[in-house]
Structure 1
């Protein structure tokens, strides 16, 4: 397939109202996921319970009556949004400058990876919980094996630094409030509130991601694969610090704000379809 025919096919797909509605629902699903993670983080402080992570939330949903149906609905929406962003990476071409092209495609690449990963994770919970637990065990074993060699430890450090850089991007985006550009409209009381929620949310989300990256790198020297288990390890580590409960509550509130912003973006966010 030539680039022009591929672009035409992509344009036809993204001009589909049905496809756009499903893809927009991906933002809403991710928003709901972050709200639940944030609530679980706060619950960890109040009741010393909860599992504030994507895996923890999905596990709880899978245990509810009809939970597997909800997971499959989430899978379809998340995958659709991931595919939409992938089309932007492959065929997006109407940019005013080379800089805008790099920025737009980099952003779309990150979103494509995130949403396709979330879709795969959601499907794994819907399909086979036992297989998922086995996969998580293998992941910990892989981290432990990497820690046994110098190249493996360096790889974990590089991975941690990459994750930290990704978190820094979120923090900077929140501080500069560039997430406003992702919205069709940010006027009025609701629009202004959405921008504020996004500012708080991006900073909180970035801080959590930076924490995860730091722990991944630290795990290479501490020989502790549990530290490389993502945001769940971040919350557990923060919880044990002197000001842990306060920081954990702040992170939880921030993630709820991020989730609410994504909910607004689902309806009022810009969707690239300029192929």
Structure 2
């Protein structure tokens, strides 16, 4: 279902959610960069959140982050249900809205993790990818389900890369001097995030092929796989900086993202500005030729 205008509360919920996501990835990127320099254990999002628990304001910050993740989850669920980004009802639109729902589910899980850590409990424990693979392998056609999940993850990683290279994110980004200056960082962040997701997908596919859930792995496994490559320490450090860049992308989204079902016609996005610039250049060229 869709409506002519989205309720006003979805915008602050979206901004709050992206901010929480950005802070988490900034922490994660810093931890992974430190691990690349020192040879220490790499971390995942849950571990990044757990580092806050020992700080003086850690529990309070975890509650704030949990609220932010919950807000982001609600935003993604409502965005998909009400089609706030005008994705449409064709196959492409349905796939995009399913992706929004999945993203909301992941964020809801992080909200629960943050709340558990704030209360002094564990974050839920275990590797989520291995848990998923183990559960799927127990279902009918489990081997194929695990491989399908892996292929979906690889596709999602590829989507992030295409989103960066084709600058699809600009369609919903307000054009300002700051958003234009940070554009290269945004692209790098999206590509880095896509690489991590695709690697996780690759491990899931292999777990399905071997019918062995221990072959699956989440972010920590992906980071260790990168470090195991030639010049792995350098590659891991570069990937960590990419995750920090993805945090910047989240902060840019928090500040400048436009909700099409809420924004007015007077809002200029980066995509609209780029089109206007290209059309202006075409007209100037045509006038010179004429």
* TM-score tier (shorter): 0.7 to 0.9
Report the more deviating stretch, 99-108 or 240-249.
99-108
Match of 1:55 in 2: 46
Match of 1:27 in 2: 18
CA distance in 1: counterparts of 2:254 and 2:108, whole angstroms: 17
CA distance in 2: counterparts of 1:105 and 1:127, whole angstroms: 33
- Closer, same or farther in 2 for the Cα pair 1:137/1:39, shift >3 Å? closer
CA distance in 2: counterparts of 1:150 and 1:97, whole angstroms: 33
Alignment of 1:60-209 (within 5 A): 60-92=51-83, 95=86, 101-102=93-94, 105-106=97-98, 108-127=100-119, 129-130=121-122, 132-133=124-125, 136=126, 140=130, 143-144=133-134, 151-185=141-175, 187-188=176-177, 190-209=178-197
User: Could you say what the CA RMSD is over the residues aligned between the two structures, in angstroms?
Assistant: 3.2
- Closer, same or farther in 2 for the Cα pair 1:250/1:138, shift >3 Å? closer
Q: Is the 8 A contact 2:42 2:223 kept in 1?
A: no
Q: Is the 8 A contact 1:40 1:50 kept in 2?
A: no
Q: Find out whether 1:259 has 2:247 as its counterpart.
A: yes
Equivalent residues, number: 262
Alignment of 1:235-246 (within 5 A): 235-246=223-234
User: What TM-score does the superposition give when structure 2 sets the normalisation length?
Assistant: 0.77
- Closer, same or farther in 2 for the Cα pair 1:218/1:199, shift >3 Å? same
CA distance in 2: counterparts of 1:94 and 1:235, whole angstroms: 33
User: What TM-score does the superposition give when structure 1 sets the normalisation length?
Assistant: 0.81
CA distance in 1: counterparts of 2:181 and 2:68, whole angstroms: 25
Q: Is the 8 A contact 1:94 1:274 kept in 2?
A: no
Q: Is the 8 A contact 1:88 1:108 kept in 2?
A: yes
Higher helix share: 1
Give ranges in structure 2 of 5+ residues lacking alignment. 264-290
CA distance in 2: counterparts of 1:176 and 1:138, whole angstroms: 31
CA distance in 1: counterparts of 2:97 and 2:138, whole angstroms: 37
Deviations 1:74-120 (A, max 9, x none): 11112112212222222237849655854763453344233223223
How far does residue 34 in structure 1 lie from its aligned partner after superposition? 1.2
How far does residue 164 in structure 1 lie from its aligned partner after superposition? 0.8
Match of 1:38 in 2: 29
If you compute each CA radius of gyration, which structure gives the higher value, 1 or 2?
Answer: 2
How far does residue 163 in structure 1 lie from its aligned partner after superposition? 0.9
CA distance in 2: counterparts of 1:204 and 1:131, whole angstroms: 25
How far does residue 166 in structure 1 lie from its aligned partner after superposition? 0.8
Say which SS state the counterpart of residue 56 (structure 2) adopts.
coil
Report the more deviating stretch, 106-115 or 233-242.
106-115
- Closer, same or farther in 2 for the Cα pair 1:52/1:131, shift >3 Å? closer
Alignment of 1:216-235 (within 5 A): 216-221=204-209, 225-235=213-223
Q: Is the 8 A contact 2:160 2:191 kept in 1?
A: yes
